[in-house]
Each structure stands twice: as C-alpha cells, then as structure tokens.
C-alpha cells in the first residue's frame, strides 16, 4: 500500500529501523509505554490479525522469533516482556497494518488497558 505509514517505514522512506530482514521490520514506537517499546511488522501489507491467510503462518512464527531476538538485543529477555497485537479499532489498533508491540524494561501490570 503506497499510503500506509508502516509500509513507508518498511521501505525506509521515513523513520529508522531497529531490525530488518526479507519479511519483517521493526522500529521504536513513537509513543512508548515502557522503556522498550518496539513495533514489529510484516513487510507484506496485512491490515489486521483477522486478515491472516493460512500461508501467513510461517511469517507470524518468524515475527515471534524476531521479537525474541530484539528482546535479547534490548536486554529484556531474561527479565520478561510482552508481545501485544491489537486487532481492530475497538481493541486499540490505530494503523491498518498488522503490528506487534514488544514491550518491556519495567514491571507490566495485568490486566492491560
């Protein structure tokens, strides 16, 4: 999608990536909720979790591997972190491109929101 802000970030037209490979990209959240708050996205434009296709299963598994790697890089892997996906406006999704929030670096309360 040419006008999708996350697609533009993945294409390196704007912003700065903290991680990139052939299928995923990651960048710091502009409004962090914790000391570490990174957004991980598939480079393939998928609007939301509910729009995943069976062939996207490996991609989503890979994104979880990326989350683990970034958590280790940011030194939060052993202390704990959260991976969150908001699906749809009522759940808090504000950009129509599937994204995973990697949040950590402090104690996280429950329930969220």
Find all residues with CB under 8 Å of 57, minimum gap 6, and list them.
none
Residue bearing tokens 């591997």 = 65
Q: Is the pLDDT of residue 113 over 70?
A: no
Does any domain span residue 63?
Answer: yes
What pLDDT is recorded for position 42? Answer: 98
Does any domain span residue 111?
Answer: no
Question: Number of structural domains, the chain?
Answer: 1
d(CA 38, CA 20): 13
Does any domain span residue 113?
Answer: no
Q: In terms of residue numbers, what domain contains 9?
A: 5-103
Can you read off the two tokens belonging to residue 96? Answer: 């129509």
* C-alpha torsion sign, points 10, 13, 18, 22: positive
What pLDDT is recorded for position 8? Answer: 96
Does any domain span residue 72?
Answer: yes
Domain harbouring 22, CATH code: 3.30.428.10
Does any domain span residue 110?
Answer: no
- In three-state secondary structure terms, 101 is strand
**Could you give the residue numbers annotated as active site?**
99
Q: How confident is the model at residue 111 (pLDDT cuts 50, 70, 90)?
A: confident
Tell me what the pLDDT averaged over the chain comes to. 95
Q: How confident is the model at residue 100 (pLDDT cuts 50, 70, 90)?
A: very high
Predicted TM-score (pTM) of this structure: 0.95
Does any domain span residue 75?
Answer: yes
């Amino acid at each position: 999608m040419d006008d999708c802000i996350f697609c533009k970030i993945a294409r390196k037209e704007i912003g700065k990536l903290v991680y990139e490979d052939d299928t995923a990209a990651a960048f710091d959240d502009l409004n962090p909720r914790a000391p570490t708050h990174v957004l991980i996205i598939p480079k393939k434009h998928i609007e939301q979790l509910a729009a995943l296709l069976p062939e996207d299963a490996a991609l989503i598994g890979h994104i979880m591997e990326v989350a683990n790697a970034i958590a280790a890089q940011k030194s939060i892997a052993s202390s704990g972190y959260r991976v969150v996906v908001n699906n749809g406006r009522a759940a808090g999704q504000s950009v129509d491109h599937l994204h995973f929030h990697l949040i950590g670096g402090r104690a996280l309360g429950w329930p969220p929101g």
